[in-house]
Amino acid sequence: EAQVTQNPRYLITVTGKKLTVTCSQNMNHEYMSWYRQDPGLGLRQIYYSMNVEVTDKGDVPEGYKVSRKEKRNFPLILESPSPNQTSLYFCASSLWGGAGSPLHFGNGTRLTVT
C-alpha cells in the first residue's frame, strides 16, 4: 500500500532532550516536506526537500533540522526541544513538488515538550 509512515505517533519529552521523528514513503517520491499544525494557524511548513541531499527552509525552520540521505526517508530532528515546539507534526511527499503533484500526508506525530 502506498503510504507515508511517521513514527512515533505520540511523543512526550522534556526540554532539551534531543529527539528524532522519522518519516518514510514507499512511492518513490522526489519531494518531501515537514509541517507543523497548531490550532488557528493551519499547517506551516518547516523544511522541504526536492530530492536526495537537497533540503531547504520553509516558513518556520527555527529549532529544527532535517536530512535527506536517501529518497524514501526524511527525518525531522529537534536538537534541543522547547515547549513552544509542542505541536502536531505531519510529513508529506509528492512525486516532484510542483502544483500538478498532490501531497500525500502521514498520519501525524503529536509531540509534547514539558
Which stretches of the chain bind other proteins, using CB under 8 A? 4, 31, 33, 35, 40-45, 48, 50, 58-59, 90, 92, 97-100, 102-103, 105-108
Question: What is the nearest approach in angstroms of other proteins to the Cβ of residue 102?
Answer: 5
Q: Which is nearer to other proteins, 17 or 96 (CB)?
A: 96
| Rounded Cα–Cα distance for residues 4 and 15 (Å) | 28
Question: Closest distance between other proteins and the C-beta of residue 92, in Å?
Answer: 8
| DSSP secondary structure letters along 25-55 | ESS--SEEEEEEEETTTEEEEEEEEEETTEE
Question: For other proteins, which is the closer residue by CB, 24 or 33?
Answer: 33
By C-beta, is 12 or 54 nearer to other proteins?
A: 54
What φ, ψ does residue 102 adopt, rounded to 5°? -65, 150
Q: Which amino acid is at 12?
A: I
- Shorter beta-carbon distance to other proteins: residue 1 or 99: 99
Continuous segment of H or E residues that includes residue 5: strand 4-7
Q: Is 29 within 8 Å of 93 (Cβ atoms)? A: yes
| Shortest separation between residue 57's beta carbon and other proteins, angstroms | 11
Cell numbers that stand for 114 in this block: 514539558
Q: How far is the CB of 66 from other proteins (least distance, A)?
A: 15
